[in-house]
Amino acid sequence: MDLFTYGGFPEPFLSASEKESTRWSGEYRTRVVREDLRDLERVDDINLIDRLSLRLPELVGSPLSLNALRKELEVSHKAAARWVSILENLYTIFRLYPFGSPKIRAVKKEAKHYHFDWTLVKNTGARFENLAACHLLKWCWFLQDSEGRDIELRYFRDIDKREFDFVVVENAKPVHFIECKQTDADPGLSLRYLKQKFPAAATQVVLEASRDIMTKDDIRICPAHVFLGELI
């Protein structure tokens, strides 16, 4: 999948070269941190924000702990929170917040983050999850803008450690549960758990798969190129 390897920005994608994609990503990050950020925000230590931007791709796929970042960078919690918000405002990252409901024991606060340039994420499973997040977010934004729908993208994690990647929420109700897997497998317990709780669609999207089937639990197992191709 070329999008997975080269990213979604035109220049690296059209180059079809991993070397050029890596070069472009490095230059893009430098421009954002060293130039765009200086023009738009008052910051005291660009080098620490640069360190943050290098660290964040390694944390994709898990809830982002600002307290852990604060300790690692040896700064205040307020500074770490502000810097993450700055990177979000510059459209280098975006955050998804957990889906919560009285029916489930969901966590309420910790956000997960993803990069618009997912080639920065080196772990294969995390990069695939990041790619899917970008596609789903784009789809939600399209429906918001074109149809005025109250739709947003979230993730699921509860205090019993059940979790999966994405929940599409419309009018404050879940309408689609989505889990990303690198290789073909039966749907996980967390996806089946939520499917039993809510009358919503459920899909397990697989990077390396050939089958497109519905399970007895009414969960779709689908190759990534098919599922993502059905979005805009």
The per-residue DSSP string of 24-84 comes to HHHHHHHHIIIIIHHHH---S-HHHHHHHHHHGGGGTTSB--HHHHHHHHT--HHHHHHHH
99's tokens? 């889906």
Q: Is residue 104 over pLDDT 60? A: no
Give CA–CA dist 124/209, Å, rounded: 15
Give CA–CA dist 44/78, Å, rounded: 14
Q: CB neighbours (10 Å) of residue 40?
A: 11
Look up the pTM and report it.
0.90
Give CA–CA dist 3/11, Å, rounded: 12
Print the domain residue range for 188: 2-229
- Mean of the pLDDT values across residues 195-200? 85
For position 108, what pLDDT does the model report?
59
Confidence of residue 29 (pLDDT cuts 50, 70, 90): confident
Q: Is residue 32 over pLDDT 80? A: yes
For position 34, what pLDDT does the model report?
78
Q: CB neighbours (10 Å) of residue 113?
A: 22
Q: Is residue 102 over pLDDT 60? A: no
Q: Are 185 and 210 in contact (CB under 8 A)?
A: no
Structurally, the chain folds into a number of domains equal to: 1
33-91 pLDDT per residue, tens: 877 777 666 666 788 888 899 999 999 988 899 999 999 999 899 889 988 998 998 89
Q: Is residue 101 over pLDDT 70? A: no
C-alpha to C-alpha distances, 3 to 7, 93, 128, 133, 225, nearest whole angstrom: 5, 18, 10, 13, 10
3-state secondary structure of 203: strand
Taking alpha carbons only, the member of 93, 7, 110 closest to residue 52 is 93
Confidence of residue 221 (pLDDT cuts 50, 70, 90): very high
- Mean of the pLDDT values across residues 114-124? 95
Neighbouring residues of 205: CB distance < 8 A, sequence distance ≥ 6: 132, 178, 179, 180, 181, 222, 223, 224, 227, 228
